[in-house]
Amino acid sequence: MTQPGRAPTSRRAGGHLSRRHFALALPSALLVSGVSGISGCAAPHQGTGRPGDPIVLTLLSHYASGALKEALQGPVDEWNATHDRVKVQTKAVEFTDLLTTFMVRQAAGQGADIMQPYCLWNGQLVQAGVLRPAPSEHAEEIRRGYGKAAVASSSVGGKVYGYPTEVQTYALYYNKRLLREAGFDGPPRTWQELEEAAYRTTKRDQYGNTLVQGFGLSTYDDSTTVGQTLALLNAAGGTFVSADGRRTTIDSPAGRAVFDLEHRLVARGASAPGVNVYKAFPSGQVAMVVSAGWWTENLKELMGKDYRDVGVAPVPVPEASDEHATLSTGFMLGVNAAGKHPREAWEFLRWLNTEKVRVKSAEGGGEKGTDESPEKSTAKGATKVRANSAAKGTTVTRMSSLQVSVGSMTGRADDMRTLLGRGGDPNLRPFLDALAYAVPEPNVPGAQQAKSLLRKNIEALWTGQQSVDESLRITRRQVDQEVSHSW
């Protein structure tokens, strides 16, 4: 599994925990000496909160290196510089180890005060007693300030458990040149148009080898395979898991339609699932592919001047009269149920995620052309944010500016409109618009295992090992068994 919302080449995720007691079977060295790879900024030893002995809150995330680590450390340093009684210390592990770390450290009584889980895991973490429900005043702020999908991802059983941070929506990337050469003046809007464009843009050499895939289905990892399929499923009006979280609904008419569509694309040679779309699309070897908004910045870097050929549009729907829908995934910041200082932890999260700070426009001078980080602490505690075409004097939350600085988004549509600005990359606009209609990835207790099972059966369908009927039947049986056992 690749970290949702990040380049697949940067992190690879391994196993998962589908049972509460699994953490107890892990090596005791992890419980005694701490998790290997954790690092953080220097901070005082945790104290009582008396003058000269501040409370120190630990924040555990997957922002372990590079731009992500620096982006988070900026506002944390700002908080520490302007707050005497409560300090925050960041700790991080690679995404690969994040869920295991949460569970192991909690079992050992060493859980962090503040945690940033992938929202897919929230049901499991709540069931295991790791996450604390948000106090009513924070829950109301979250419901009021974020889109429905982001709030739903951060909630379990109707209760809000944290502030949404990174949010990713899915859309259709397409190569304008390849579509134009095949006789199309724009992207497909319906599945019929999608299939026609996929077949007409597919190219083979004289030996039958595929040179260009019309539509890039990919078995690269579960976030790619499952993300593509669920985005199409949502666009068809379907869902993967029932509203009560106790069974799958993949065998609905919408699910069958998606599996039929993907089967046809592979059978007719328009899709070659074994090809890595993250390399093939930038090279002009894929005409269309469904993926999340994080990819936009990567494509700019990879493609250079050829990026002008890239367009983004909403995920096509079965019929022209259908309303748009797609998939959203994300992360959140929540508070440990066993933490000793929950009030202080929630106050820090409110400051980070809801307090507005001034935007410093790139066109307004002063910061333009410098190599300062987009997040910078000042003597007065103000955060300066550079953003494309954002009006001078407008304000956004620290978390929104943090995410935009690393090529991501939050679920705060107002912040995103301010930061992206009218003069920004038009390819980001469909992902912003999708915040209003995206369907969150289900986060029931057995969600991680259910996702892995779905991937296994999708790949069996794509590779011809199972028919559509077999894939739907086996997925239903396996996923129903998993999610029912997880309650």
Helices 447-462 and 468-485, axial angle in degrees (round to 10): 170
Q: What is the pLDDT of residue 483?
A: 87
Tell me whether strands 162-175 and 326-336 are parallel, antiparallel or unpaired.
Answer: antiparallel
d(CA 268, CA 171): 23
Structure tokens that stand for 228 in this block = 């593509």
Work out the number of other CB atoms within 10 angstroms of the CB of residue 42.
5
pLDDT at 251: 94
Whole-angstrom distance, CA of residue 41 vs CA of residue 404:
23
Q: Other C-beta atoms within 10 Å of 127: how many?
A: 18
Both structure tokens of 20: 């509460």
Q: In what order do the strands lie in the sheet with 395-397?
A: 376-377, 383-387, 356-361, 395-397
Query: Side chain identity at 156, as an amino acid letter?
Result: V
Torsion, Cα of 271, 175, 219, 299 (10° steps):
170
pLDDT at position 420: 86
Element housing 287 (H / E): strand 286-292
Which residues have CB under 8 Å from 1's CB, separation 6+?
Answer: 12, 13, 14, 16, 221, 222, 223, 451, 452
User: Which tokens sit at 66?
Assistant: 């590079």
Model pTM score: 0.86
Q: Residue 25 and residue 448: Cα distance in Å, rounded?
A: 19
Cβ pair 466, 262 in contact under 8 A: no
Neighbours of 199 (CB within 10 A): 16
**Among 37, 34, 99, 97, which residue's Cα sits nearest to residue 65?**
37
- Look at residues 383, 338, 431 and name the one whose alpha carbon lies nearest to residue 82: 383
What the block records as the tokens of 183 is 């006789």
- Find all residues with CB under 8 Å of 273, minimum gap 6, and list them: 217, 218, 219, 266, 459, 462, 463
List, in sequence order, the alpha helices (H) in 122-167: 122-127, 136-145, 148-153
pLDDT value at residue 361: 56
In angstroms, the CA 127 to CA 21 distance is 12
Number of H-type helices and E-type strands within the chain: 18, 17
Q: Which of 4, 450, 453 is nearest to 245 (CA)?
A: 450
Query: What is the SS3 assignment for 17?
Result: coil
Rounded Cα distance between 113 and 111, Å, is 7
- Residue pair 203/213 in contact by the 8 Å Cβ criterion: no
Residue 39 DSSP label: B
Integer Cα distance of 238 and 232 in angstroms: 9
Stretches in the chain below the pLDDT threshold 50: 7-46, 362-387, 389
- Spatial contact of 439 and 234, defined as CB atoms under 8 Å apart: yes
pLDDT recorded at residue 152 = 96
d(CA 260, CA 377): 53
* pLDDT score for 5: 56
Q: Which bin fits 372, alpha (ψ -120 to 50), beta or left (φ > 0)?
A: beta
